[in-house]
Amino acid sequence: MSWSSRRRLIPPLLLTVVALLQIVLARTANLTAWKGGGFGMFATLDHGAYRGVDIVVDAPDRSESLEIPPSLEIAAARAAAFPVDWLMRDLAEGVAARERRYERAVSRVTVTAWRADFDRATLRASERPLRTFVYDVP
């Protein structure tokens, strides 16, 4: 097979490799099926609308649950879509930096990623934690 013939295989092969990798990550590391190039969109309720992260900030004189601020929405969406250490750490570091900017004490940030499960019969939804990451602020 000539190089000219072989190179037409590159895009389909790339698609296949990325899609298989996405399936592996979805099955082993909670990557949402809708993202990552595996073509799992419109296949499951496990997507951005039914995933989220809860943030709790601790300090010697406070323990407070925070709403996601607009400046950290993308970091939160990334951590919810793929709750792995580096993305949860990115979010936690962003939260800690923001708290310091506002001169609020922070010694620990706890990030919990969750998804919604829908009952097969009643369709009632409930949150199920996927992963919790604790960041001790240096």
Question: For binding to another protein (CB under 8 A), which residues are involved?
Answer: 4, 7-8, 10-12, 14-16, 18-19, 23, 26-27, 31-46, 49-50, 74, 77-78, 81-82, 114, 116, 118, 120, 122-129
Place of tokens 């389909």: 12
Bridge partners of 135, per DSSP, are 109
Q: Which is nearer to another protein, 12 or 70 (CB)?
A: 12
27 has which bridge partners? Answer: none
Chain-centroid distance of CA 38 in Å reads: 16
Least distance in angstroms from the C-beta of 50 to another protein: 8
Q: How far is the CB of 61 from another protein (least distance, A)?
A: 26
Least distance (Å) between residue 28 CB and another protein: 13
Q: Cβ of residue 107: shortest distance to another protein, in angstroms?
A: 26
Tokens standing for residue 8: 């037409």
Looking at the Cβ atoms of 33 and 96, the one nearer to another protein is 33
What burial class does residue 45 get, using C-beta atoms within 10 Å of its C-beta: 0-12 exposed, 13-18 middle, 19+ buried? middle
CA–CA separation, 37 vs 107, rounded Å? Answer: 37
- Would you say 40 or 94 has its CB closer to another protein? 40
- Whether residue 83 contacts residue 25, with contact meaning beta carbons closer than 8 Å, is answered with no
Decide whether 121 or 138 has the Cβ nearer to another protein.
121
